[in-house]
Structure 1
């Protein structure tokens, strides 16, 4: 039946064409954005998961930056300790030489003074971004050093930042200390503390040099009034100091390796999350481009079908003229 009020064929063709155009627009959006799920209306569940994971990935990127900073701080302290060990070995060598009969101990002491100054320089210079793990200038320096280690999301949705911790203080007054120099009380420093001499049972409280604000102990000085026994005690104390410094260097080296491994893990984790999110929301560009070409062809056919449906009323119109 041909109606002058309703062209059902044209309406049907128009509905098909409208659906084709909508499909083309959706496919074009996927091709342009590269996403199969770019907004919540595309797939609410996948969009929610992907958005959360992208947020976590940004947090992991911040953790990666923090680990880079932490690695630099640890490496700075580790390099300072290694340099200090080399200088302490030189000091021990000079003291062994001073033990020999007939040597000019005053001249050796001149070298000793310079080596002590080098230890101070190393300690003071081992600073990165305002942090110095080898030099105690305030009681606040005793606080454990917290380094950002990772970021994780619990099953209930809560987030947690985990830390890598380094106990920097040690036990003051003993050989179990980690600072090289303690300018507050002296006894928390390897070079300024009397703990080594006390544990070795020497006749004097030998220290490499005295701290700025701590008590005054027996500083190691070589001159003609120093006895052979005292020099031997100094050698023993310096050796104990060097061994403790090596232990601290070992701890810092292990910590540096842990930070480096954690940094690598965080980078791999970011890649995994990025890949996982992509599998959920990325569009298959080969499929979408092929689909777009097919829809464009279908759209052209729909336009032609609509034109044919509209032309079906032309004979009736010609009769009415």
Structure 2
């Protein structure tokens, strides 16, 4: 297992500079800032890791003629396809046959070769692995890779530059790629990290309690993006640091936070993108309550949602 370091994040920052959109921050209330990463290319932070992954392979001369392949209809697949187009290589993306048409269309819009296989993610993944074996294509992972996590970590220094006196960053956790990268950079600067998961998608929280990676059930309004059955070992290792707090939020709070971002700011984000904010706005007794004078940034991480349920009220 590669232990992620701040050097990895700094190298990633050099690779993604000029290719990704630097994060925009907005004040929410005194001491609380929103890092609007849902405005990133492809609608999520994953563009950072995908670009770093391919650019690092190009630097090393290990980017094959067959291009890159991934099994993901979600934000990772979109980011992979986008980054491959930037690098001028083919992306072959495997999805289950019942994948939403809008995602398939978006992937094709980024120039990906989309292959629909089976009815479950596991079948698409098996086909992707077979394709990588037979063609020599580079297999990309949604989150469990040091280059992917380091790319995501570039977000932290951008937030630090824009938020004076930053004490704490609040991020949502699925498989742990964003968390691992951001927390690695945060530790370097002595910034606290709050890791937020839905109550019924608690791969990191459960792993921390058990002291090892464990498999969890997945059931949440945000499960399409945060529904990892297990967290990466890298994420667990980073989370065992003193500067990390693990927090669970109920789906009701996530739904409210997502609606509030629309009602108050006209920001349409996916449920996963509102999960971190739900932790700060949560009722007493759950979530994260900042201390007097603490400066907190909340990462709003994804916009790939159908906004129709926000507008009709």
Q: TM-score, normalised by structure 1?
A: 0.25
Task: Name the structure with the higher helix share.
Answer: 1
